Amino acid sequence: MRQKISDDRPTLMRYEIREIVDVVQKIQELDKNFKFVGENIGDPVAKGWPVPPFLKEILIDAIKQEGDKIFGYTHSRGYPPARKWVCKYAKRFSPSANLDYEYVLFTSGLGAAISTIYEMLPHGKRILQPTPSYPTHASMESFNANLESVSYQLNPNNDWQPDIEDMEAKIKVDENIVGILVINPNNPTGAVYSKETLEKIVALAEKYKLFIVSDEVYFRMVYFGKKFEQITEIANNRVPLVVMRGLSKDVPWPGGRCGWLEFHGIDLDPDYKKYCDAVKKRILLEVCSTTIPQMILEQMYEHPKFDDWNKEYNAHLEDNSRYIAETLSKSPYLKVNPTYGAFYMMPLFKEGVLNDRQTLPIESPEAKKYVEEITSKPGLKLDKRFVYYLLAATGICVVPASSFFSKHYGFRLTTLERDPAKRNATYEKVVEMIQKYVESTK
């Protein structure tokens, strides 16, 4: 090339949730008996969740009534009636919300919104990330800054609640931090944040003049008697707040690629307003996000059967969370927190349990050779080594905690399995394999 067109920045982008699929495909090629059990990707549809029949009916009716219109472009910032409905809906849960529909922007999935919010920050300005984090946020934030992410700890010894002291310590020493990311309910930990925790985060943002980004894509998935606390209500008139929501997980319709950004507190700070206007401008360049889900958004969420559907969904997630936490807690080598929201869990290995010589028996000689090769790479994290062995030995695919920028070793799994027999078999196997793996060098 005339000039160099590549650099090292892509090393800052990490998404093991999908990268591990390449390893799965390779093992599938090498081992004809390999049976994949995907616990890596949070796709309810892939895990057998039925799309509610009322949604399919709404879609069919929309095609009949609206005709070809629903296959066209819509407004670049989003279908105006859908944006107006988002404002009304925000007010229902948070009466003090005063959202202007001009500051509700639809994107092709929240993934696209995540890229944009970091992209539009002036170069070098940072948004403090949680750790463990959802890797798209941490990757896109650090990719834009061209630096590793700056993060606050989620504390596994306090039900994965954010460590507020750590948060303040990080903010204090780094002038470039302009915002705090909160993911609630949390991916990857399954934690749901208390009102007190959110109050403390808002107070910190107020004290240091920061804005908050609240990723709430799982806000309808809360169980075990927990309540989703509205940060919108707490931050109102105090702190600029960007809320992120979407329909990938709760309808569920991840392939619909429909998420949205809500910019609250627009008049609190002219600089924040300018930033929001920059995001608005940037979104125009995308032409528009997927039209169909936006056109039926209100009908879907306001459907008389939606609440029952949501309750059933949460009851199932609660049951899975209880069973999986109880089963994994039988392992003396793990520390397990049950989850209260979303559909993930992150069990951790107790300190000193893992080493770089542990293995599991892998039947196929070719797959065994391949796993030995990929686990001998210098610097490979110990939990990644475990995950690769578990995958090749059993077909069970989880994601290493270290790939979520975690300082603790462990793994993230999904709690989405619909079939209790399959779920039980999977997690009993995981416990058995952990014992075998840990004790393989004893």
Where does this chain bind ligand PLP (CB under 6 A)? 42, 109-111, 134, 183, 187, 215, 217, 246, 248, 254, 259
Neighbours of 388 (CB within 10 A): 23
Task: Tell me whether residue 249 or residue 316 sits nearer to ligand PLP (CB atom).
Answer: 249
For ligand PLP, give the closer residue by CB, 106 or 306.
106
CA nearest neighbour of 169 among 145, 147, 152, 149: 152
Burial (CB < 10 A; 0-12, 13-18, 19+), residue 219, is: buried
Which of 250/318 has CB closer to ligand PLP? 250
Compare residues 213 and 362 and give the one whose CB is closer to ligand PLP.
213
**343 or 349: whose CB is closer to ligand PLP?**
343
**Per-residue tokens: 179:** 């915002």
Measured from the CB atom, the residue of 222 and 371 that comes closer to ligand PLP is: 222
Whether the CA torsion 325, 404, 196, 416 is positive or negative: it is negative
Q: Is-cis flag, bond preceding 400, omega within 30?
A: no
Question: Least distance in Å: CB of 82 to ligand PLP?
Answer: 15
Considering the complex, state which of residue 294 and residue 375 has its C-beta at the smaller distance from ligand PLP: 294
Residue nearest to ligand PLP (CB): 109
Contact 391, 367 (CB under 8 A): no
Q: In whole angstroms, how far apart are CA 210 and each of 203, 216, 241?
A: 10, 19, 9
Rounded to the nearest whole angstrom, what is the least distance from the CB of residue 292 to ligand PLP in the complex?
15
Shortest separation between residue 354's beta carbon and ligand PLP, angstroms: 26
Q: How far is the CB of 362 from ligand PLP (least distance, A)?
A: 30
Strand partners, 200: none
Shortest separation between residue 17's beta carbon and ligand PLP, angstroms: 8
Question: Shortest approach of ligand PLP to residue 2 CB, angstroms?
Answer: 36
Distance of closest approach, residue 234 Cβ to ligand PLP, in angstroms: 20
Q: Which is nearer to ligand PLP, 90 or 183 (CB)?
A: 183
Q: How far lies 104's CA from each of 19, 274, 297, 381, 391, in Å?
A: 32, 15, 14, 41, 42
Return the DSSP state at 410. Answer: B
Q: How far is the CB of 98 from ligand PLP (least distance, A)?
A: 25
Assess contact for 401 and 337: CB atoms under 8 A.
no
Side-chain-side CA neighbours of 142 within 13 Å: the count stands at 21
Q: Are 31 and 392 in contact (CB under 8 A)?
A: yes
Q: Can you name the residues that pair with 413 across neighbouring β-strands?
A: 345
Sheet order of strands, 161-162 included: 104-107, 259-264, 241-246, 211-215, 177-183, 126-131, 151-155, 161-162
Cβ 231 to ligand PLP shortest distance, Å = 15
Q: What distance in Å separates the CA atoms of residue 191 and residue 185, rounded to the nearest whole number?
A: 6
By C-beta, is 27 or 231 nearer to ligand PLP?
231
Dmax (CA) for the chain in angstroms is 68
Q: Which is nearer to ligand PLP, 132 or 259 (CB)?
A: 259
Q: How far is the CB of 245 from ligand PLP (least distance, A)?
A: 9
